[in-house]
Amino acid sequence: MALRVPYARLSGFYFFYFALLGGFLPYWPLYLQDAGYDPVRIGWIMAILPATKIVSPGLWGWLADQSGRILSLIRWAAFLSLMSFGAVFSSTGFIGLVAVMVTFSFFWNATLPLFETVTLGHLRQAVSRYSQVRLWGSIGFIVTVWAVGAALDGPLAIACLPQLIVLLFVGQWLVTLAVPPARESHRDEGHGSLAAILKRGEVMAFFLVSLLLQIAHGPYYVFFSVYLEGHGFTNGETGALWSLGVLAEVVLFAFLHRIIDRIGLRGVFLASLCLSVIRWLLIAWGIDHLALILFAQLLHAASFGAVHASSIHLVHRYFRGPHHGKGQALYSSLSFGLGGALGSLFGGHFWAAWGPHGVYTAAAGLSLLAWVIAWPAVGKKSAI
């Protein structure tokens, strides 16, 4: 049966949200490096974005539960993130930049987990269509990475990056104004208390795996562009490699529901963790072999795309009805928040001491540990 959902408007939000990441993740460390910051300070600054996810999604999720006005909160969060990032033009020095990062990321990090609840509310029983909405976020990332990379290799200096990011914040805020509310889930759909859900071994293992996997991703998000630049890649080539990874993710999202039907949610999740180990080893030791780096970037479809989409399904399975928004907030806080912050700090502090080879090899080890923890439990119960 055809779904009567505002597909284009839901997809538009993901497009601009991940377009912002496409402008920020690959190029902000280069902007900071150009401004004279060393790897440790770059690591600390980049850690702020995920660190605020530890607190922000839970607080805004609680406000949404109390007020029942989730879309209004999303719109305000998008607007306030735009306004607070704009302060980067008047801030000076390390402390001023830290203040801007803390403020805008506190508001911006609230938008995605809240919007995930809106999207799943529109999709309702057809959750498998989530990946077909989410793929537009990957497209937005690709478009921005290519466009910004080309602009910085051409007429624009890296110092112009904040102006480009502001334009994307404007686009995100405007699209939130067009999204209609979803029908609320029945309040009696939840099974048991939130505490009882969190005490389940499978759920604890799932959150620990998500935490480890995002710690492993930290050095990639913070230092991959710096790593490539150190090996002679231009901004355009760096953007192309980032885009290739996300393009592979787009292709995967288009067919993921069929793959899940064939090998199951658990099979997709475990296979993706194994491929994550391979990806970080290739990046660690294959940087001087273009074919290996290209293949490693294709594996982004597994290490991020398949893992994230599988995790959204698992959160939907574990946290029903009144607990669903809290589950999404916890997933965002513990994985992208705490895990991302620890990964950024880990990369920043060990980049000089261990070198890129050591840091990315350690990331592979963390992914292997995540697979060992996931194997006995995650995805075994309550078939989807």
346-378 pLDDT, tens per residue?
A: 888 888 889 999 999 999 999 999 999 999 988
- Quote the pLDDT of residue 1: 38
In tens, the pLDDT along 78-122 reads: 999 999 999 998 887 889 999 999 999 999 988 988 898 888 778
Tokens of residue 163, six digits: 């102006």
How far apart CA 106 and CA 8 sit, in angstroms, is 27
Confidence of residue 288 (pLDDT cuts 50, 70, 90): very high
CB-based burial label for 262 (10 Å; 0-12, 13-18, 19+): exposed
Which pLDDT band, with edges at 50, 70 and 90, does 125 fall under? low
- Residue 119 C-alpha from the chain's centroid: 16
What are the pLDDT digits (tens) for 40-80?
888 888 888 888 888 888 888 778 877 778 899 999 999 99
Q: What gap in Å lies between CA 83 and CA 169, rounded to an integer?
A: 9
Check residue 192 and give its pLDDT. 65
pLDDT band at 126 (very low <50, low <70, confident <90, very high): low
Q: Dihedral of the CA atoms 124, 126, 132, 133 (nearest 10)?
A: -10
One-letter amino acid of 254 = A
User: CB of 216 within 8 A of CB of 350?
Assistant: no
pTM: 0.76
Assign 6 to helix, strand or coil.
coil
Domains and CATH numbers, the chain: 8-181+191-374 (1.20.1250.20)
CA distances from 375 to 251, 268, 368, 369 (A): 26, 12, 11, 10
User: Residues 191-203: pLDDT tens digits?
Assistant: 567 788 888 889 9
- Distance CA(367)–CA(110), nearest Å, equals 27
* Beta-carbon contacts of residue 195 (< 8 Å; ≥ 6 apart): none
CA dihedral of residues 140, 232, 216, 366 (deg, nearest 10): 140
Query: Would you give the DSSP letter of residue 176?
Result: H
Q: What is the pLDDT of residue 321?
A: 65
Of 214 and 333, more confident = 214
Judged by phi (left if over 0) then psi (alpha if -120 to 50, else beta), residue 42 lies in alpha
Give the number of other Cβ atoms within 10 Å of residue 122's Cβ.
22
- What pLDDT digit, counting tens, does each position of 233-260 carry? 987 888 889 889 888 988 888 888 788 8
Would you say residue 187 has pLDDT above 70?
no
Neighbour count for residue 284 (Cβ, 10 Å): 21
